[in-house]
């Protein structure tokens, strides 16, 4: 006779569900996931996996890790990255070497797919967590990622 | 209450008897309309806040303190919106349908004993009248779905018909189970019986079963989740009120919430002693009856909101299996059990 046991199991599972939501209800004050955005702009921190825009981190000596290999440029499906490079004399070894002049990133064309960051062999570029990216003029969306006067960090190519 | 008596005497001294009683009825109707339009709005707000808390959100809290003016603003927006009609709609029925729904909802409100003297219409067939009125509402829904000339509306309306007609039985039978114990359909009489213990205590096991069945069937009667396949957003747009806009939509929306209040208020009156305080702690202050009535009703409304934000929607076959294979036979068994209990004097009385 499964009729009454069915009813018993139904009631039991319904009560289980209600206890779960009931716990949520009681903890909603502390555990609310809502961000009251414009007010908490100063304290709001986006989570690590958030894809805001591509940036190139520089250390305190204004050195980056980009070798100008152009793998990111090739990996980008819609041409958001342009690398302008030439061969310059490396001050340390005195040999001619490929160096980046400008790492140009078009945020306006970027779909945040992240293929460039996956393709980069030296981890020169990464995601930033900023998200207030709107500007009044779209030319401002074209960014040069390497800072003026920056150089390649020695030892990255090894 | 003294104020109402004074107004009553003043009206009858001012004009002939028939006119005075008509004026009095209109006055009471206007007061109820005003109170419950606002109460309905705040029920909407409550629903939204409670829903948010169940989902670990905050809910509307920007308009006014803690969002208290949010639904007022929404109502203002709905009033100012254009009333659209589809070309092929049956204009007369289309315009009539929302009033069916809202008027029946408001009519049912007049019966509830909010306190010993605050009851607009104490009819001797109280519960019968309530169940009858609440089933008229479905005609409004059917009319709305039919006259919109839209397949989604029609499907929604037909589902509503199936659902309400099925679950009407359970609501009626579970109330009948309690009537076996009270021996009267009049709501004031039922409250009088509960002076020696609320009916859910007096009737213990069968009363608790009846209460569970009533809450399930009552939730289905109001077309709320998990029985909201009438307006299942993912399948039917908005079901029977897909084609309605502005204030006409607001009528349906308000009626849903007032119906929820009615279902909870019936449960309060029948099972939880209406305006009687627990253990008779405030029986000396009759005005507090309103507080107790509303507190109990809101607790039950909260229970229905809890259902809504926990359970997934039933399929139409599951809906009918639940009613015809489970609730109805259980209800009939429960009715016999209750009758036997009353016959053998097994009820608990204080």
Highest average pLDDT, of A81-85, A92-96, B14-18, B197-201, comes from A81-85
Check A25 against B58: CB less than 8 A apart.
no
Check B54 against A17: CB less than 8 A apart.
no
Alpha-carbon distance B94 to nearest alpha carbon in chain A (angstroms): 39
Nearest to B326 among A7, A25, A32 (CB): A7
- CATH of A53-152, picked from 3.40.605.10, 3.40.50.410, 3.30.70.3270, 2.60.40.10, is 3.30.70.3270
Count of residues for chain A? 158
pLDDT-derived band at A74, boundaries 50, 70, 90: very high
Report the alpha-carbon distance of residue B10 to residue A155 in Å, rounded. 100
**B135 assigned to some structural domain:** yes
Instruction: Centre a 10 Å sphere on the Cβ of residue A104 and count the other Cβ atoms it contains.
Output: 17
Q: Which residues 14-53 of chain A have a CB within 8 Å of chain B? A: 14, 17-18, 20-22, 24-25, 27-28, 31-34, 36
Beta carbon pairs, A and B, within 8 Å:
40
**B120 assigned to some structural domain:** yes
pLDDT of res. A77: 92
Nearest to A28 among B53, B307, B310 (CB): B53
Q: Which residues of B touch A31 (CB under 8 A)?
A: 56
Closest residue in chain A to residue B51, using alpha carbons only: A25
Report the alpha-carbon distance of residue B56 to residue A31 in Å, rounded. 6
Check A27 against B56: CB less than 8 A apart.
yes
Closest residue in chain A to residue B61, using alpha carbons only: A36
pLDDT of res. A31: 67
Nearest to A21 among B52, B58, B310 (CB): B310
Alpha-carbon distance B310 to nearest alpha carbon in chain A (angstroms): 6
Peptide bond into B164 cis (omega under 30): no
Looking at every residue in chain B, the average pLDDT score rounds to 84
Report the alpha-carbon distance of residue B200 to residue B167 in Å, rounded. 21
**B29 assigned to some structural domain:** no
**B25 assigned to some structural domain:** no
Report the alpha-carbon distance of residue A35 to residue A21 in Å, rounded. 21
**Residues sharing a CB contact under 8 Å with residue A81, sequence separation 6 or more, in sequence order:** A54, A72, A73, A103, A104, A105, A106, A116
Nearest to B306 among A21, A28, A31 (CB): A21
Report the alpha-carbon distance of residue B212 to residue B34 in Å, rounded. 32
Burial-class residue A63 by CB neighbours within 10 Å (0-12, 13-18, 19+). middle
**Residues sharing a CB contact under 8 Å with residue B30, sequence separation 6 or more, in sequence order:** none
Q: Which residues of A touch B56 (CB under 8 A)?
A: 24, 27-28, 31-33
**B143 assigned to some structural domain:** yes
**B190 assigned to some structural domain:** yes
Report the alpha-carbon distance of residue B225 to residue B53 in Å, rounded. 17
Nearest C-alpha neighbor of B197 from the set B214, B181, B174:
B181
Range of the domain at B201: 81-344
Work out the angle between the directed axes of helices B288-308 and B246-271 (0-180°, nearest 10). 110
Check A28 against B326: CB less than 8 A apart.
no
**In B185-306, at which residue ranges do the beta strands (DSSP E only) sit?**
none
3-state secondary structure A8-62: HHHHHHHHHHHHHHHHHHHHHHHHCCCCCCCCCCCCCCCCCCCCCEEECCCCCCC
Q: Domain residue spans in chain A?
A: 1-34, 53-152
pLDDT of res. A106: 92
**B129 assigned to some structural domain:** yes
Nearest to B56 among A17, A18, A24 (CB): A24
Stated pTM of the model: 0.81
Residue A67 clears pLDDT 60, i.e. is over it: yes
Q: Tell me chain B's radius of gyration from C-alpha atoms.
A: 21
**In A90-149, at which residue ranges do the beta strands (DSSP E only) sit?**
96-106, 126-128, 142-144
Alpha-carbon distance B52 to nearest alpha carbon in chain A (angstroms): 8
Check A7 against B311: CB less than 8 A apart.
no
The tally of domains found in chain B comes to: 1
Nearest to B58 among A18, A21, A34 (CB): A34
Report the alpha-carbon distance of residue B280 to residue A134 in Å, rounded. 64
pLDDT in tens, B33-53: 888 888 888 888 888 888 888
pLDDT in tens, A2-47: 888 888 998 899 899 999 888 888 877 776 777 888 888 888 888 8
Alpha-carbon distance A112 to nearest alpha carbon in chain B (angstroms): 28
Check A28 against B330: CB less than 8 A apart.
no
pLDDT of res. B2: 63
Query: For an interface test with B, which of A1, A9, A19, A21 has the most B Cβ atoms less than 10 Å from its Cβ?
Result: A21
pLDDT in tens, B82-111: 888 888 888 888 888 888 888 888 888 888
Report yes or no for ipTM above 0.90: no
On whether the CB atoms of residues B63 and B213 are closer than 8 A, the answer is: no
Instruction: Centre a 10 Å sphere on the Cβ of residue B210 and count the other Cβ atoms it contains.
Output: 30
pLDDT-derived band at B1, boundaries 50, 70, 90: low
Count of residues for chain B? 350
On whether the CB atoms of residues B114 and B293 are closer than 8 A, the answer is: yes
Check A22 against B53: CB less than 8 A apart.
no
Residue B128 clears pLDDT 70, i.e. is over it: yes
Alpha-carbon distance A9 to nearest alpha carbon in chain B (angstroms): 13
Q: Which residues 118-147 of chain A have a CB within 8 Å of chain B? A: none
Residue B118 clears pLDDT 80, i.e. is over it: no
Closest residue in chain B to residue A8, using alpha carbons only: B326
pLDDT-derived band at B312, boundaries 50, 70, 90: confident
Q: What is the DSSP letter of B175?
A: H
Maximum separation of any 2 CA atoms in chain B, in Å: 64
Angle of CA points B76, B56, B318, to nearest 5°? 85
Alpha-carbon distance A31 to nearest alpha carbon in chain B (angstroms): 6
B102 vs B283: which has the higher pLDDT: B102
**B73 assigned to some structural domain:** no
Q: Which residues of B touch A14 (CB under 8 A)?
A: 310-311
Query: For an interface test with B, which of A2, A16, A28 has the most B Cβ atoms less than 10 Å from its Cβ?
Result: A28
């Amino acid at each position: 006779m499964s009729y009454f046991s069915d009813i018993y199991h139904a009631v039991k599972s319904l009560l289980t569900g209600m206890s779960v939501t009931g716990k949520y209800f009681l903890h909603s004050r502390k555990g609310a996931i809502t961000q009251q955005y414009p007010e908490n702009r100063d304290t709001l921190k986006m989570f690590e996996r958030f894809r805001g825009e591509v940036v190139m981190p520089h250390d305190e000596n204004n050195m980056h890790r980009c070798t100008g290999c152009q793998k990111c440029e090739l990996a980008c499906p819609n041409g958001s990255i342009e690398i302008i490079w030439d061969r310059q004399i490396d001050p340390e070894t005195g040999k001619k070497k490929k160096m980046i002049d400008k790492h140009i990133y078009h945020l306006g064309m970027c779909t945040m797919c992240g293929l460039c960051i996956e393709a980069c062999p030296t981890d020169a570029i990464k995601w930033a967590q900023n998200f207030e990216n709107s500007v009044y003029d779209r030319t401002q969306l074209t960014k040069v990622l390497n800072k003026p006067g920056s150089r390649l960090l020695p030892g990255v190519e090894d | 209450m003294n104020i109402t008596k004074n107004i009553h005497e003043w009206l009858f001294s001012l004009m002939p008897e028939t006119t005075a009683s008509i004026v009095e009825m209109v006055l009471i109707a206007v007061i109820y309309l005003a109170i419950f339009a606002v109460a309905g709005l705040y029920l909407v707000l409550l629903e939204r806040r409670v829903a948010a808390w169940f989902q670990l959100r905050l809910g509307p809290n920007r308009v006014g303190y803690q969002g208290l003016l949010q639904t007022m603003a929404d109502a203002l927006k709905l009033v100012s919106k254009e009333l659209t009609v589809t070309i092929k709609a049956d204009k007369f029925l289309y315009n009539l349908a929302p009033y069916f729904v809202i008027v029946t909802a408001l009519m049912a409100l007049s019966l509830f004993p909010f306190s010993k003297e605050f009851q607009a219409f104490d009819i001797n067939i109280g519960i019968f009248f309530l169940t009858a009125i609440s089933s008229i509402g479905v005609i409004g829904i059917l009319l709305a779905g039919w006259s919109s000339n839209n397949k989604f509306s029609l499907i929604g309306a037909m589902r509503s018909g199936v659902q309400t007609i099925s679950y009407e039985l359970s609501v009626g039978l579970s109330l009948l189970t309690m009537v076996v114990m009270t021996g009267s359909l009049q709501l004031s009489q039922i409250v009088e019986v509960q002076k020696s213990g609320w009916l859910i205590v007096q009737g213990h096991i069968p009363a608790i079963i009846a209460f569970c069945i009533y809450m399930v069937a009552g939730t289905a009667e109001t077309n709320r989740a998990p029985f909201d396949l009438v307006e299942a957003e993912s399948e039917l747009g908005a079901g029977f009120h897909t084609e309605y806009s502005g204030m006409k939509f607001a009528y349906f929306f308000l009626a849903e919430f007032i119906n929820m209040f009615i279902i909870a208020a019936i449960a309060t009156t029948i099972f939880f002693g209406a305006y009687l305080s627990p253990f008779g702690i405030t029986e000396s202050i009759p005005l507090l009856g309103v507080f107790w009535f509303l507190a109990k009703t809101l607790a039950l409304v909260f229970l229905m909101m809890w259902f809504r934000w926990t359970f997934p929607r039933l399929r139409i076959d599951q809906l009918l299996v639940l009613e015809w294979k489970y609730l109805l036979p259980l209800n009939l068994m429960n009715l016999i059990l209750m009758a036997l209990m009353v016959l053998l004097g097994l009820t608990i009385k204080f």
